[in-house]
Structure 1
Amino acid sequence: MESHVGGLRRVLVLAFCVAGIWSAYIYQGILQETVSTKRFGPDKKRFEHLAFLNLAQNVVCLLWSFIMIKLWSSSSSGGAPWWSYWSAGITNTIGPAMGIEALKYISYPAQVLAKSSKMIPVMLMGTLVYGIRYTFPEYLCSLLVAGGVSTFALLKTSSKTISKLAHPNAPLGYGLCFLNLAFDGFTNATQDSITVRYPKTSAWDIMLGMNLWGTIYNMAFMFGWPRASGFEAVQFCKQHPEAAWDIFLFCLCGAVGQNFIFLTISRFGSLTNTTITTTRKFVSIVVSSLLSGNPLSTKQWGSVGMVFSGLSYQIYLKWRKLQRMQKKRKPA
């Protein structure tokens, strides 16, 4: 009876995590697309300073992580010092800024799809730099994802979608997305090395350190060199409170989403989290297409299917590998 109740509780917690991640990030995607494409106020002006979204999210997540550490953290020492995040903070500032900036040039579904191909630069770097050899199924996954993204990029985007973009330019938009992925790869590797060097570092510590440096770098960029566009962004928000509210909700969704990701990883492992976030990206494309007026053609939906078939197969391969490792650990 106790095991049955425990199993039910575990299923309910997992359902809670899925609902939290999906709702937070799908709604954040809708807000991100709204801020990048909508014309605000009677003057019908666009919010051109999309990099300001990163600064705003850094500040909200910094405050959020600080509060969480004070409320829940059980250890006050042994974690990584704040200055150890400076290099990862640079790439974590530049990468997401490029991803958001890409929304000026390509649609939100195209951006999500391009950013779903993270495994491609990881495998390329592993093969070229470290001489890692991958299995045929892993190459097949990469081929499906690369083929799907490439086909989607080559297919003609509807005129309705193009009319919503500030500066339609597909090659530049996809280029910014792939640079975003490259910087994300360095960020993840640096975070892994920090947790190895400082084992007592918690997820909240990492969130605090990353967003602290992100705030510093983005403040310098937005309010210093080269154009001090942060002042223009703040002025726009004062003149268009609707835009300011959307930006605040965007940041809040990011903070809440990170909470559910940390909860999922701590309770169910990174593989479960990868599965949830991957399916969330697919649902984001569907929701965007239905609600935001970005209709996809049948061929484009075929490309989306190729990408998520590759990602799903990759998740299955990881699950099978994990099952084999667990069997080896069991005593005979």
Structure 2
Amino acid sequence: MAEESILTGLMDTWIGSLTVNLLCYSTVFIPGYLIIQYFKKSQYIERAGSGLISKLITSCIYGQGYDKLVTTDVPPPKTSLPDKSLAARCFQLSFCFFGLQASYLTWGVLQEKIMTKEYHNSAGNVGHFKDSQFLVFVNRILAFLLAAAYLGFTRQPRHTAPIYKYSYCSFSNIMSSWCQYEALKYVTFPTQVLAKASKIIPTMMMGKIVSSKKYEYYEYVTAVLISFGMTMFLLGSTESKGNASSSTTLSGIIILVGYMSFDAFTSNWQGELFSQHKMSSVQMMCGVNLFSCLFTITSLVQQGSFGISLNFMVAYPAFFWDSLILSICSATGQLFIYYTISIFGPVVFIIIMTIRQGLAILLSCIIYSHPVSVLGILGILLVFTAIFLRVYCSHRLKQLQQRRAGGDTAKV
């Protein structure tokens, strides 16, 4: 009994829960690594047949680009589509804007509700849901099914990336999502949203580590402004200290740093895969969510928490509907992201999502009564001003580069 109480107490802490999750994920990573090394060292590709199993193993470990059968996949010629009218473009932009706002604002409100509020049922019981990993799973399973269905009904470019490479960004994506949910136990939702808006800084650092990227001066200036604004917000928060000790605040900060670091790695690794293998965004979405489902369901089953979460869902029907809507918003939000970027480009997408983050803070403060001081408000304004300044400078720099390239071409 004493050992069980110690284990239960350990699992109630974020450090203990994180440790157990990582041990469970290792039961997928370690056997997977050994299998991949076996096939590579045994030169399986040289003796692979043309059967379904051989093709599956080849795709997982080598990618279709190593297929021994010579294929000449010639993409269909691109036909220039007529320019759409201003009204049509405005309708598309409005569709993207309101689709992203509705998906992610609803997702943010439900995220905070699930992780911080109590649930009541008709029997008068009161419950508090605590398993962040289960929420990651329900989000990823629907996103995977949507992406897989889309791939099944549309023509996609030849997929040349080894499927196992998705596991790295899938793991970091799981961990960033886990940190995002877990942080709400220790910090307010506005603090978390502002930290997400500040993830430009760790993204730049990770870009230097992963891809040796170089950045412009304005990017460093805006990064400093964002850091300063975030500090102003944290210092100016008037959140009651009666519910949170200094250790709780420290835990929240550590988890948020973990979230930003994992999220930064995810975007940079996905960028490397896009540049090397030229897959479509939906192929990336399907591959990442496939491994995310594999990791989370394995860990949930091993810990015995999958059944516990399902029982909680049955006991509290309101939680079931919140989880369902949460996963729908997450999956449709990903589809809106890819659609918006494909139509209007990343700059318009960043502006829309920046507006969404500001509205998310406003909604959270209104719905859940999070007080913010004048200094905190100034910090919020400084962060979002720096983000818009960054977008504007990036856009202007690209325009200047295009003009110089056009001028050089004209001289030649």
The TM-score normalised by the length of structure 2 is 0.73
Distance 1:101-1:9 versus aligned 2 partners, 3 A rule: same
AA at the equivalent of 2:367: L
Question: Which residue number corresponds to residue 58 of structure 1?
Answer: 140
AA at the equivalent of 2:295: Y
Question: Which residue number corresponds to residue 297 of structure 1?
Answer: 373
Q: What are the Cα deviations for residues 274-323 of structure 1, in whole angstroms up to 9, with x where unaligned?
A: 11111111111111111222232222111111111111111111111121
Distance 1:162-1:155 versus aligned 2 partners, 3 A rule: farther
Question: Which residue number corresponds to residue 48 of structure 1?
Answer: 130
Correspondence for 1:90 among 171, 178, 190:
171
AA at the equivalent of 2:283: D
Q: Distance in 2 between matches of 1:115 and 1:4?
A: 36
**What RMSD over aligned residues (CA atoms) do the two structures have, in Å?**
2.5
> Does 2:186 match 1:110?
no
Distance 1:193-1:134 versus aligned 2 partners, 3 A rule: closer
Q: Distance in 2 between matches of 1:46 and 1:250?
A: 17
Query: Could you tell me whether the CA contact under 8 Å between 1:119 and 1:142 is conserved in 2?
Result: yes
Mapping of 1:209-224 within 5 angstroms?
209-224=287-302
> Does 2:280 match 1:202?
yes
Distance 1:166-1:55 versus aligned 2 partners, 3 A rule: farther
> How many pairs align?
325
Q: What are the Cα deviations for residues 229-250 of structure 1, in whole angstroms up to 9, with x where unaligned?
A: 2222111111001011101101
Correspondence for 1:37 among 110, 116, 122:
116
Correspondence for 1:172 among 235, 239, 251:
251
Question: Which residue number corresponds to residue 221 of structure 2?
Answer: 140
AA at the equivalent of 1:251: S
Q: Distance in 2 between matches of 1:162 and 1:51?
A: 28
Q: Distance in 2 between matches of 1:217 and 1:275?
A: 33
Question: Which residue number corresponds to residue 21 of structure 1?
Answer: 100
Q: How far is 1:70 from its partner? A: 1.7
SS at match of 1:88: helix
SS at match of 2:109: helix
Q: How far is 1:80 from its partner? A: 3.0
Question: Which residue number corresponds to residue 124 of structure 1?
Answer: 205
- State the identity as a percent: 27
Q: Distance in 1 between matches of 2:182 and 2:97?
A: 28
Q: What are the Cα deviations for residues 28-59 of structure 1, in whole angstroms up to 9, with x where unaligned?
A: 00110110111101322211112211011011
Q: How far is 1:120 from its partner? A: 1.1
Q: Distance in 2 between matches of 1:95 and 1:114?
A: 12
Q: Distance in 1 between matches of 2:280 and 2:167?
A: 17
Q: Which moves more between the two structures, 5-14 or 62-71?
A: 5-14
Q: Distance in 2 between matches of 1:43 and 1:141?
A: 49
Distance 1:167-1:9 versus aligned 2 partners, 3 A rule: farther
Mapping of 1:285-324 within 5 angstroms?
285-324=361-400
Q: How far is 1:196 from its partner? A: 2.2
Q: How far is 1:328 from its partner? A: 3.1
AA at the equivalent of 1:74: R
Q: How far is 1:223 from its partner? A: 1.7
Question: Which residue number corresponds to residue 9 of structure 1?
Answer: 88
Q: Distance in 1 between matches of 2:204 and 2:157?
A: 38
Consecutive unaligned residues of structure 1, counting only runs of 5 or more, are: none
Query: Could you tell me whether the CA contact under 8 Å between 1:104 and 1:167 is conserved in 2?
Result: no
AA at the equivalent of 1:54: V
Query: Could you tell me whether the CA contact under 8 Å between 1:106 and 1:168 is conserved in 2?
Result: no
Q: Which moves more between the two structures, 317-326 or 14-23?
A: 317-326
Consecutive unaligned residues of structure 2, counting only runs of 5 or more, are: 1-81
The structure number with the bigger radius of gyration is: 2
Q: How far is 1:174 from its partner? A: 2.0
> Does 2:157 match 1:80?
no
Query: Could you tell me whether the CA contact under 8 Å between 2:235 and 2:376 is conserved in 1?
Result: no
Q: Distance in 1 between matches of 2:346 and 2:292?
A: 24
> Does 2:313 match 1:237?
yes
Q: How far is 1:66 from its partner? A: 0.9
SS at match of 1:154: helix
Q: Distance in 2 between matches of 1:130 and 1:68?
A: 31
AA at the equivalent of 2:269: T
Query: Could you tell me whether the CA contact under 8 Å between 1:79 and 1:202 is conserved in 2?
Result: no
Question: Which residue number corresponds to residue 260 of structure 1?
Answer: 336
Q: How far is 1:135 from its partner? A: 4.3
AA at the equivalent of 1:268: F
Question: Which residue number corresponds to residue 262 of structure 2?
Answer: 183
